[in-house]
Structure 1
Amino acid sequence: MKAFFEGIQSLFVDFLFLPMNFLRELELTTWFGANIINWIFVIICTTAMVYWVKQLQLHKSNNEDYQDTTAHSFFK
Protein backbone atom coordinates (compact mmCIF):
# COMPACT_ATOMS: atom_id res chain seq x y z
CA MET A 1 0.00 0.00 0.00
CA LYS A 2 2.90 2.33 0.77
CA ALA A 3 4.30 1.83 -2.73
CA PHE A 4 0.94 2.87 -4.22
CA PHE A 5 0.99 6.23 -2.44
CA GLU A 6 4.67 6.73 -3.23
CA GLY A 7 3.80 6.10 -6.88
CA ILE A 8 1.13 8.82 -6.71
CA GLN A 9 3.66 11.12 -5.07
CA SER A 10 6.21 10.38 -7.77
CA LEU A 11 3.65 11.03 -10.51
CA PHE A 12 2.77 14.46 -9.18
CA VAL A 13 6.20 15.61 -7.98
CA ASP A 14 8.30 14.25 -10.84
CA PHE A 15 5.94 14.77 -13.78
CA LEU A 16 2.76 16.80 -13.27
CA PHE A 17 4.27 19.65 -11.23
CA LEU A 18 7.26 20.22 -13.53
CA PRO A 19 5.56 23.13 -15.36
CA MET A 20 4.77 24.76 -12.01
CA ASN A 21 8.39 24.39 -10.89
CA PHE A 22 9.52 25.95 -14.17
CA LEU A 23 7.17 28.92 -13.67
CA ARG A 24 8.32 29.32 -10.06
CA GLU A 25 11.96 29.47 -11.14
CA LEU A 26 11.10 31.76 -14.06
CA GLU A 27 9.45 34.26 -11.71
CA LEU A 28 12.81 34.98 -10.12
CA THR A 29 14.18 36.22 -13.44
CA THR A 30 11.17 37.86 -15.10
CA TRP A 31 7.73 38.53 -13.66
CA PHE A 32 6.11 38.99 -17.08
CA GLY A 33 7.48 35.72 -18.36
CA ALA A 34 6.14 33.81 -15.38
CA ASN A 35 2.70 35.38 -15.75
CA ILE A 36 2.34 34.98 -19.51
CA ILE A 37 -0.31 32.29 -19.01
CA ASN A 38 -2.40 34.70 -16.93
CA TRP A 39 -2.04 37.40 -19.57
CA ILE A 40 -3.17 34.96 -22.26
CA PHE A 41 -6.28 34.08 -20.22
CA VAL A 42 -7.05 37.78 -19.63
CA ILE A 43 -6.83 38.46 -23.37
CA ILE A 44 -9.05 35.47 -24.19
CA CYS A 45 -11.68 36.46 -21.59
CA THR A 46 -11.67 40.10 -22.70
CA THR A 47 -12.10 39.07 -26.33
CA ALA A 48 -14.97 36.74 -25.43
CA MET A 49 -16.68 39.44 -23.36
CA VAL A 50 -16.43 42.00 -26.17
CA TYR A 51 -17.81 39.48 -28.68
CA TRP A 52 -20.68 38.57 -26.33
CA VAL A 53 -21.66 42.21 -25.74
CA LYS A 54 -21.57 42.94 -29.48
CA GLN A 55 -23.84 39.96 -30.14
CA LEU A 56 -26.25 41.17 -27.45
CA GLN A 57 -26.35 44.61 -29.04
CA LEU A 58 -26.91 43.06 -32.47
CA HIS A 59 -29.89 41.03 -31.26
CA LYS A 60 -31.32 44.01 -29.42
CA SER A 61 -31.04 46.27 -32.48
CA ASN A 62 -32.84 43.64 -34.64
CA ASN A 63 -35.68 43.42 -32.03
CA GLU A 64 -34.88 39.73 -31.51
CA ASP A 65 -34.36 40.27 -27.82
CA TYR A 66 -37.69 39.38 -26.23
CA GLN A 67 -37.73 40.37 -22.57
CA ASP A 68 -40.73 39.25 -20.60
CA THR A 69 -40.86 40.32 -17.00
CA THR A 70 -42.77 37.23 -15.95
CA ALA A 71 -40.73 34.07 -16.12
CA HIS A 72 -43.70 31.75 -15.69
CA SER A 73 -47.41 32.05 -16.15
CA PHE A 74 -48.12 31.35 -12.47
CA PHE A 75 -46.24 34.53 -11.44
CA LYS A 76 -48.94 36.78 -12.98
Structure 2
Amino acid sequence: MKDFFYGIQDLFVDGLFLPFDMLRSLELESWFGANVMSWIFMAIGFVAFIYWMMQLAKFNSNNEEDKSVTAHSYL
Protein backbone atom coordinates (compact mmCIF):
# COMPACT_ATOMS: atom_id res chain seq x y z
CA MET A 1 0.00 0.00 0.00
CA LYS A 2 2.94 2.28 0.71
CA ASP A 3 4.15 1.91 -2.90
CA PHE A 4 0.70 2.95 -4.14
CA PHE A 5 0.90 6.30 -2.35
CA TYR A 6 4.51 6.81 -3.47
CA GLY A 7 3.30 6.18 -7.02
CA ILE A 8 0.65 8.88 -6.66
CA GLN A 9 3.30 11.24 -5.26
CA ASP A 10 5.62 10.48 -8.16
CA LEU A 11 2.83 11.08 -10.69
CA PHE A 12 2.00 14.52 -9.33
CA VAL A 13 5.46 15.78 -8.32
CA ASP A 14 7.40 14.53 -11.34
CA GLY A 15 4.67 14.64 -13.95
CA LEU A 16 1.60 16.79 -13.53
CA PHE A 17 3.22 19.68 -11.64
CA LEU A 18 6.23 19.91 -13.96
CA PRO A 19 4.75 22.79 -16.03
CA PHE A 20 4.19 24.78 -12.84
CA ASP A 21 7.82 24.22 -11.83
CA MET A 22 8.88 25.63 -15.20
CA LEU A 23 6.64 28.67 -14.65
CA ARG A 24 8.18 29.17 -11.22
CA SER A 25 11.64 29.31 -12.81
CA LEU A 26 10.41 32.19 -15.00
CA GLU A 27 9.57 34.27 -11.93
CA LEU A 28 12.91 36.04 -11.81
CA GLU A 29 12.86 36.81 -15.52
CA SER A 30 9.27 37.91 -16.15
CA TRP A 31 6.47 38.60 -13.73
CA PHE A 32 3.84 38.22 -16.46
CA GLY A 33 5.31 34.90 -17.58
CA ALA A 34 5.33 33.51 -14.06
CA ASN A 35 1.66 34.46 -13.58
CA VAL A 36 0.36 33.26 -16.93
CA MET A 37 -1.90 30.61 -15.33
CA SER A 38 -3.51 33.26 -13.13
CA TRP A 39 -4.16 35.43 -16.17
CA ILE A 40 -5.72 32.48 -18.01
CA PHE A 41 -8.02 31.65 -15.08
CA MET A 42 -8.99 35.32 -14.72
CA ALA A 43 -9.84 35.49 -18.43
CA ILE A 44 -11.98 32.33 -18.20
CA GLY A 45 -13.79 33.75 -15.16
CA PHE A 46 -14.36 37.09 -16.92
CA VAL A 47 -15.81 35.40 -20.01
CA ALA A 48 -18.06 33.21 -17.85
CA PHE A 49 -19.26 36.27 -15.91
CA ILE A 50 -20.09 38.16 -19.11
CA TYR A 51 -21.96 35.13 -20.49
CA TRP A 52 -23.90 34.77 -17.23
CA MET A 53 -24.89 38.44 -17.24
CA MET A 54 -26.03 38.21 -20.88
CA GLN A 55 -28.19 35.20 -20.04
CA LEU A 56 -29.71 37.04 -17.07
CA ALA A 57 -30.47 40.04 -19.27
CA LYS A 58 -32.10 37.79 -21.87
CA PHE A 59 -34.40 36.16 -19.29
CA ASN A 60 -35.16 39.54 -17.75
CA SER A 61 -36.16 41.04 -21.11
CA ASN A 62 -38.48 38.07 -21.84
CA ASN A 63 -40.23 38.56 -18.47
CA GLU A 64 -39.65 34.90 -17.59
CA GLU A 65 -38.62 35.75 -14.04
CA ASP A 66 -41.30 35.36 -11.38
CA LYS A 67 -40.91 38.61 -9.41
CA SER A 68 -44.02 38.30 -7.27
CA VAL A 69 -43.74 38.55 -3.50
CA THR A 70 -44.90 34.94 -3.10
CA ALA A 71 -42.39 33.55 -5.59
CA HIS A 72 -40.50 31.82 -2.78
CA SER A 73 -41.97 30.13 0.24
CA TYR A 74 -39.52 31.78 2.65
CA LEU A 75 -40.66 35.27 1.60
1:59 aligns with 2:59: yes
Report the Cα offset of residue 28 of structure 1: 1.2
Q: Distance in 2 between matches of 1:28 and 1:56?
A: 43
Give the residue type in structure 2 aligned to 1:56: L
Q: CA RMSD in A?
A: 2.3
Residue 26 of structure 2: SS of its match in structure 1?
helix
User: What SS class does the counterpart of residue 66 from structure 2 fall into?
Assistant: coil
The AA in structure 1 aligned to 2:55 is Q
Q: Secondary structure at the match of 1:11?
A: helix
Are 1:26 and 2:26 matched, yes or no? yes
The aligned length equals 73
- C-alpha distance in 1 between matches for 2:68 and 2:59: 15
Gaps of 5+ in 1: none
Of stretches 41-50 and 9-18 in structure 1, the one that deviates more from structure 2 is 9-18
1:50, 1:64 → 2: CA distance? 20
User: AA paired with 1:27?
Assistant: E
State the AA in 1 paired with 2:26.
L
Identical counterparts, % of pairs: 52
Look up the equivalent residue of 2:49 and give its one-letter code: M
Q: Unpaired runs of 5+ in structure 2?
A: none
